Structure 1
């Protein structure tokens, strides 16, 4: 799957770990050659005569380098560094966006836009905070703006009882009366209920839960992303989880 090239007319200014649980097909979005993700994004921008000649890091050293330092290399025009960050966080971004919009193709479009904005704002990047904090701030702003612009088109998440299990690769036969099949059906019904109730949370609570529960960001990172204090973030998440406990008490 190769990300689509994007036009560069009137580029928007940039807004200042992934799990694969129950995100259909999204944990399998790899397969893009290591240079193609960078090419797809870089192709969106015209070259300029004054641009520095690009240099390339040794991929073997990037894995041992802090993400913020890698992004500083991107700021200096290091293609391999940018490519490394795209490959490292691409699935995380798609999964995050999928949980926000419940549409695989839109999730991928939004994830690509996140990295386009990262690239566009590279010259202004400073390593004052974790790279993931900066990355998720861009992603969160984009996801929330999309949700507001398309609030009447947001689809309800629907779990199929005959979908393929990600761990075994097998589908569960609803007619199968074995205990394992019954447990699997109950598990999926519970997941569907959880997602429905998470979607029903107020927007900021929902985003905070997504980042805390699914992306495993800590309170400080979430606070910086949402422009809140740590205490306000803890209070926000407490209210969100309490609301979920109340609405899901029949499934606990």
Structure 2
């Protein structure tokens, strides 16, 4: 970011390649509307461009970036009357794999397992929708965007222990909703969400 602030456009391309997909996924999970998430994601990076010359490394870049994204999402939610339910069925670009895409490959599992997987997806979708906003936000930042607890705490302006507590409660709730799937086998490559819920 400091290089981009000095006028190096190649540095912005590197930032964009590194952070665009995770920021988009975070926004998509926050507002659950693909078109609006694309617009807000673009707005995040437009704001980054606008303030590039004034950026100082007081906080980690990802913390600063996700703070911008979070604030835009909050503003958007305030303006939006209708809430759209979280969808795991959204298709994405190469680097934008949804949780549904990370579940076991249907070519490698039996038909009965495929039915279990589809049912698991529906139950997970329902379970995520039941989480309080604070817990869903922490879960999304941690599992879909890959932020560390410290970074999430900085973005949310709460203590790291608060973030860990919200994550723990989110996982407990999800485990409760998905207890029937505790014996369902996931491959090592599958999402960390499924691994956490075991």
TM-score range with shorter-chain normalisation? Answer: 0.7 to 0.9
Aligned residues of 1:211 and 1:222 also touching (Cα < 8 A): yes
Q: Distance in 2 between matches of 1:131 and 1:75?
A: 12
| Structure with the greater alpha carbon radius of gyration | 1
Tell me the distance in 2 between the aligned counterparts of 1:193 and 1:78.
47
Q: Does 1:191 align with 2:133?
A: no
* Shift, 1:98, TM fit: 2.1
- C-alpha displacement at 1:77, in angstroms? 1.9
Q: How does 1:147-166 map to 2 (within 5 A)?
A: 147-155=77-85, 157=87, 159=89
Q: Is the 8 A contact 1:147 1:154 kept in 2?
A: no
Provide the rounded CA distance (Å) in 1 between the counterparts of 2:163 and 2:86: 27
Structure 2: runs of 5+ lacking an equivalent: 91-99, 183-198
Q: Identify if the C-alpha distance between structure 1 residues 151 and 171 changes in structure 2 by more than 3 Å, giving closer, same or farther.
A: farther
Q: Decide which of 149, 157, 174 is 1:244's aligned counterpart.
A: 174
Give the whole-Å Cα distance in 1 for the aligned partners of 2:101 and 2:168.
Answer: 31
Given that 2:29 and 2:86 are in contact with CA atoms closer than 8 Å, whether structure 1 keeps it comes out as no
How far the C-alpha of 1:226 sits from its partner, in A, is 0.5
Tell me: higher relative CO, structure 1 or 2? Use CA pairs within 8 A at least 6 residues apart.
Answer: 2
User: Given the superposition, is the C-alpha separation of residues 237 and 158 from structure 1 closer, same or farther in structure 2, using an over 3 Å criterion?
Assistant: closer
Q: Please give the root-mean-square deviation of Cα atoms over the aligned residues, in Å.
A: 2.7
CA drift of 1:115 comes to 0.4
TM-score normalized by the length of structure 2: 0.74
* Equivalent in the alignment of 1:228: 158
- Calculate the TM-score normalised by the size of structure 1: 0.60
Number of aligned residues = 171
Residues 1:210 and 2:123 are matched in the alignment: no
Greater helix percent: which structure? 2
Q: Can you list the C-alpha shifts for 1:59-106, whole angstroms capped at 9, x where unaligned?
A: xxxxxxxxxxxx011212221111221122212222222222332222
What's the counterpart of residue 20 of structure 2? Answer: 90
Following superposition, the deviation at residue 116 of structure 1 comes to 0.9
What is the CA distance between 1:244 and its match in structure 2?
A: 1.8
Maintained 8 Å contact 1:97/1:111: yes
Alignment of 1:62-73 (within 5 A): 71-73=1-3
Report the Cα distance in structure 2 between the residues aligned to 1:152 and 1:117, rounded to whole angstroms.
26
Gaps of 5+ in 1: 1-70, 173-177
In structure 1, what is the equivalent of residue 131 of structure 2?
201
